[in-house]
Amino acid sequence: MSARQFDGQVLRLARRARDLSQEALGRAEGVGVEQPTVAKWESGSTFPEPERLPGIARALSEPLDALWPRDGEPDLADLRCDAGYPQKRTGELIGTKSHIPVSNAERGVRRLAEAFVPRLAEAYGVTREQLLTAQDRSFGVTPAVAAGPPSAPRTLAEKITYLLDTTFPSGRPTDAQIAAAVNAHAGVDVVSAGAVEALRTGTPPPSEVLAGLAAGVVLEGLAAFFGVTALFFQSDEELERQVVDAISLLALRGSSDDFALAARGADGGLDPAVLAKISALVAEVQQQAGPRR
């Protein structure tokens, strides 16, 4: 089985970016756990079952491959987990009372009966060929030409292309349409069709777009257009730096008479207990992020 590279810190940053509590995430459809379990996932002491990861990604409004990329090509069990099904539910997916046929195929014991293949492919949201290729991997057979999913997008161009492929499979919007949506979101013309093409293809964009990117305006517009958070377009290093800087600034301001912040429902600045929690959080994030460069 080709496991996904789950990282509790990625989960914590994405959850906080969505302003979700651990309890709310645990209650989300397809997740179904208590708050202490989510806390253990984020601390790295335990890991979620693979079939829960799609539900977590939906709750965070982020692509699963962007959050936790897969190390290698999927086998039959991977397809099931990515569809969000525990093995015990596969019997109903193929129209039987037992999950044993799917269990046997996942363990490389006995291949699926022909009648089960189209039903399982439909349930998993893949083609017949993709299902059979994944089954071959479960039996230790490496296809001559493996048509697996692409590697997780890293650059801005790769991320835009990934979202175009996954969000608009039946017909991509034009660069002009994307530019118009970004400009409408910004309330001012910040990109042209040519600038969007440059961002999409990875070629150097015009200087005004670079300024817009630096201010976050273009990324926010792209995020709104594709229905994701601006977090998706940022690198891991940028995410860690922003979290540490933001929380550190809150802690510093809260401890200063000149920059005292009013806590919710209070008029006298941050409560000392709140400041203590913020300081502890700063120390935790800095320790996990490592030395600042």
Q: Which of 21-35, 50-64, 111-125, 279-293 has the lowest mean pLDDT?
A: 279-293
Task: Tell me what percent of the residues of the chain surpass a pLDDT of 70.
Answer: 74
What is the rounded average pLDDT for all residues in the chain? 81
For residues 190-198, give the mean pLDDT.
87
pLDDT at 258 over 60: no
- Residue 134 falls inside a structural domain: yes
- Residue 1 falls inside a structural domain: no
Residue 73 CB: number of other CB atoms within 10 A? 16
- Residue 132 falls inside a structural domain: yes
Nearest to 81 by CA among 181, 89, 191, 221: 89
Same domain, residue pair 225 and 241: no
Same domain, residue pair 196 and 255: no
Same domain, residue pair 62 and 86: no
Same domain, residue pair 125 and 169: no
In total, how many domains does the chain have? Answer: 4
Same domain, residue pair 129 and 162: no
The CATH number for 129's domain is 1.10.260.40
What is the structure's pLDDT at 242?
60
Same domain, residue pair 169 and 190: yes
Nearest to 102 by CA among 80, 130, 122: 80
For residues 88-93, give the mean pLDDT.
95
> Strand, coil or helix: what is 98?
coil
Alpha-carbon distance 274 to 254, whole Å? 9
- Domain carrying residue 284: 236-289
Alpha-carbon distance 228 to 215, whole Å? 18
Name the more confident of 45 and 211: 45
Same domain, residue pair 254 and 201: no
Name the more confident of 38 and 261: 38
Residue 199 CB: number of other CB atoms within 10 A? 26
Same domain, residue pair 164 and 216: yes
What is the structure's pLDDT at 176?
92
The residue type found at 283 is A
